[in-house]
Amino acid sequence: MALDSRSLSPAQRYALVLVDLSVGFTDPTKSPLASECPAVIEANSKLLEAFRQRGWPVIFTTVAYDDPSQARVFREKIPALNVLAAGSELVRIDPRLAPQEGEPVLVKFWASAFFGTDLALRLHDAGVDGVMVTGLTTSGCVRATALDALQHEFRVLLPEQAVGDRDAQAHQANLRDLQIKYADVRDLEDCLALLG
């Protein structure tokens, strides 16, 4: 029996949460965690421009470790995470999407941008009731962030072209599952239209 899944009504005010669009995830010549993702970069660039024009909140995240005790079980499961050393080039946001003054870059240790950070507080303080979640990777940190956003009572929108994954099958399966249960997955142009 099919689940009765409905589209969410649009938020009154969105924040753009760009998940882990750091060099460690966008440049496969420098990191085992990365994949070629020029289309994802381009889509995020368009969203950034639209959010900045509207004056709505923009928040970046990156994964960075400076102590062996941080997320030790996660790092045991995925040893490649150890390349994400605090202060290294790999944890900097890809220069094609460089944050502007006043756009925070939250450092996280685990998959969700909400877990162990003040993201929820920042979003509430900014008066938003919805988030557009973008970035890398769809099956990992994007999914975890989208799920936690819903659990914090935000309306969650995923611009399909603005998320990506090293594994194409995992990407598609997770977009489908997120659409059914936790978020609205929409074409980039539809998301941009919501921003005027």
Return the CATH number at 91: 3.40.50.850
- 136 found inside a domain: yes
Distance of alpha carbon 55 from the chain centroid: 19
Whole-number pLDDT of residue 187: 98
- Of the listed ranges 4-8, 120-124, 162-166, 179-183, the least confidently predicted one is 4-8
Confidence of residue 166 (pLDDT cuts 50, 70, 90): very high
pLDDT digits (tens, 9 = 90+) for 173-185: 999 999 999 999 9
Looking at per-residue confidence, does 2 or 114 come out higher?
A: 114
Asked whether residue 3 is domain-assigned, the answer is no
Identify whether 32 is part of a domain.
yes
Catalytic residue among 23, 58, 141, 150: 141
Report how far Cα 101 is from the mean position of its chain's Cα atoms: 19
Mean pLDDT over the full length of the chain: 97
Q: What is the pLDDT of residues 45-86, one digit of tens each?
A: 999 999 999 999 999 999 999 999 999 999 999 999 999 999
Mean pLDDT of 91-116: 98
Is the per-residue pLDDT at 3 higher than 80?
no
Q: So what's the pLDDT on residue 1?
A: 62
Question: Is 141 a known active-site residue?
Answer: yes
List Cβ neighbours of 191 (8 Å cut-off, separation of 6 or more): 47, 132, 157, 159, 162
196: confidence class by pLDDT, cuts 50, 70, 90? confident
5 within a domain of the structure (yes/no): no
First to last CA, the chain: 38
The verdict on residue 76 lying in a domain is yes
Structural domain total, the chain: 1
4 assigned to some structural domain: no
Is residue 2 scored above 70 in pLDDT? no
| pLDDT bucket at 96, cuts 50 / 70 / 90 | very high
Q: Grade residue 5 by pLDDT with cuts at 50, 70 and 90.
A: confident
**For 85, which DSSP code?**
B
What pLDDT, on the 0 to 100 scale, is given for residue 56?
97
Confidence (pTM): 0.96
Cα–Cα distance between 141 and 121 in angstroms, integer? 19
Does residue 91 belong to any structural domain of this protein? yes
Residue 1 lies in a domain: no
Q: What is the pLDDT of residue 4?
A: 84
What is the domain extent for residue 171?
A: 14-194
